[in-house]
């Protein structure tokens, strides 16, 4: 398959797409973002239908996005709005139309029945039940299909889905707020006011948006004991499921009077290797879920087992907000898919707490950030790098592997 995404700064074309195609796909991507927090465990998808008849040529006649609880996929919502105007029209879809029957019928078939003349797709579906079959079905019906317009943006929106649908493991984003010298907290005897904020309010607002886009947030008991965080989604945006707050707590030390426990509403999961039934009962009586795991080789909760458990619960994306030791363990264990760092313009010195402790060194931090994409975040800098691409083994429509 010919990819202009490798020609035009990530904006691709299979059959010579024009400027209007990029513009309408940008609108479809905008619609897809409305499904963030509302579509999981399905992918977020947006669709725009543009008329190609004599009276409304070039006008948008239907658009939609997917929300899990509303069942209908984005294409069905847009087709319903377009009605008869869909005949001969161009449909812009951020993810390949499905070709199988799940909770709903196949969208590729619906597009064929509606008589659309052309379909422009941002990316092939990561779901092996679809993976090129949707576009093949459209072509067999005589519909022109162009693929990979806005591919990069579409894939970023569905990194969690791509990881989960292929491995049944969630996509893990490691969030770190640190100083220019790679420190996440002052030394204990520094005498600085508490709470001590490393980054700016703008960065903290962005973290709330990141939580909103996640199904779960994961931390360690050390962070809970030191900071007593809430770890809730305070973005103010709608979400389908409560953000699951997960604590790795091998010895079951979570205090019943902590803010996590006091605010628990079937949205706090404690993962432990302890068999202390009395402490379990106290936490469960306060609305906290306690799950016991077999210990790893070090006698601690296995990160791999916890991520597998979250995958079984259809958690597509997990954001980590941890201390130095767990940050290092996550990175060294190969569990991190994306690393996002908010870097303040301050320094705390060599005695302060490093961002990645234990196995991680200054060189490890540099390796993680070497190919980061940087942007401003208030007074800070935001760097994000894809450590492991969940789309790397997705089969392309022509049978090749991307």
Which active-site residues does the annotation give? 75
The span from the CA of 243 to the CA of 329, in Å, is 23
Asked whether 43 and 95 are in contact (CB, 8 A), the reply is: yes
Task: Identify the CA nearest to 372 among candidates 335, 343, 331, 333.
Answer: 343
**Strand order across the beta sheet in which 46-50 lies:** 60-65, 46-50, 90-93, 118-121, 144-147
Is the bond preceding 195 in cis, omega lying within 30 degrees of 0?
yes
H/E segment holding residue 246: strand 244-248
Task: Identify the CA nearest to 94 among candidates 36, 7, 163, 158.
Answer: 158
Q: Which two tokens stand for residue 129?
A: 């039940």
Asked whether 343 and 312 are in contact (CB, 8 A), the reply is: no
Write down the H helix ranges in 122-200: 133-140, 151-157, 159-167
User: Helix %, strand %, coil % for the chain, to 5?
Assistant: 30, 20, 50
Q: Which two tokens stand for residue 305?
A: 């087992």
Q: Which two tokens stand for residue 148?
A: 């990979």
Strands (E), 277-335: 289-292, 317-320
Burial class (CB in 10 A: 0-12, 13-18, 19+), 278: exposed
Task: Identify the CA nearest to 173 among candidates 330, 36, 16.
Answer: 330
Residue that the structure tokens 């490393």 belong to: 198
The span from the CA of 214 to the CA of 338, in Å, is 13
The span from the CA of 176 to the CA of 211, in Å, is 13
């Amino acid at each position: 398959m010919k990819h202009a995404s490798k020609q035009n700064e990530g904006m691709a074309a299979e059959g010579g797409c024009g400027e209007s195609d990029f513009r309408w796909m940008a609108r479809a991507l905008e619609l897809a973002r409305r499904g963030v927090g509302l579509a999981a465990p399905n992918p977020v998808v947006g669709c725009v239908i543009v008329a190609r008849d004599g009276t409304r040529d070039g006008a948008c006649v239907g658009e939609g996005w997917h929300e899990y609880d509303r069942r209908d996929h984005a294409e069905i919502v847009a087709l319903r709005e377009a009605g008869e105007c869909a005949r001969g029209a161009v449909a812009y879809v951020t993810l390949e139309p499905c070709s199988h029957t799940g909770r709903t019928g196949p969208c590729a078939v619906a597009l064929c029945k509606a008589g659309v003349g052309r379909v422009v797709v941002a990316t092939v579906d990561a779901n092996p039940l679809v993976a090129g079959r949707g576009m093949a079905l459209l072509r067999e019906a005589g519909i022109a299909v162009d693929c990979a317009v806005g591919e990069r943006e579409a894939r970023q929106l569905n990194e969690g889905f791509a990881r989960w649908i292929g491995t049944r493991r969630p996509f893990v984003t490691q969030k770190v707020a640190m100083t220019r010298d790679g420190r996440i907290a002052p030394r204990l005897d520094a005498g600085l006011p508490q709470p001590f904020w490393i980054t700016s309010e703008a960065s903290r607002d962005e973290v709330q948006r990141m939580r909103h886009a996640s199904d779960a947030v994961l931390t360690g008991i050390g962070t809970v004991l030191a900071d007593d965080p809430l770890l809730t989604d305070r973005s103010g945006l709608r979400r389908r499921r409560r953000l699951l707050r997960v604590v790795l707590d091998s010895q079951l030390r979570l205090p019943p009077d902590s803010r996590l426990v006091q605010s628990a509403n079937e949205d706090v999961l404690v993962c432990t290797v302890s068999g202390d039934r009395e402490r379990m009962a106290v936490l469960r009586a306060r609305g906290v879920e306690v799950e016991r795991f077999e210990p790893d080789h070090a006698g601690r909760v296995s990160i791999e087992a916890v991520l597998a458990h979250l995958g079984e619960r259809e958690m597509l994306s997990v954001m980590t907000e941890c201390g130095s030791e767990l940050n290092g363990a996550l990175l060294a264990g190969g569990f991190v898919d994306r690393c996002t760092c908010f870097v303040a313009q301050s320094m705390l010195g060599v005695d302060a707490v490093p961002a990645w402790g234990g196995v991680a060194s200054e060189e490890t931090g540099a390796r993680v950030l070497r190919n980061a994409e940087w942007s401003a975040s208030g007074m800070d800098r935001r760097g994000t790098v894809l450590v492991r691409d969940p789309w790397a083994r997705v089969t392309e429509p022509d049978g090749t592997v991307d």
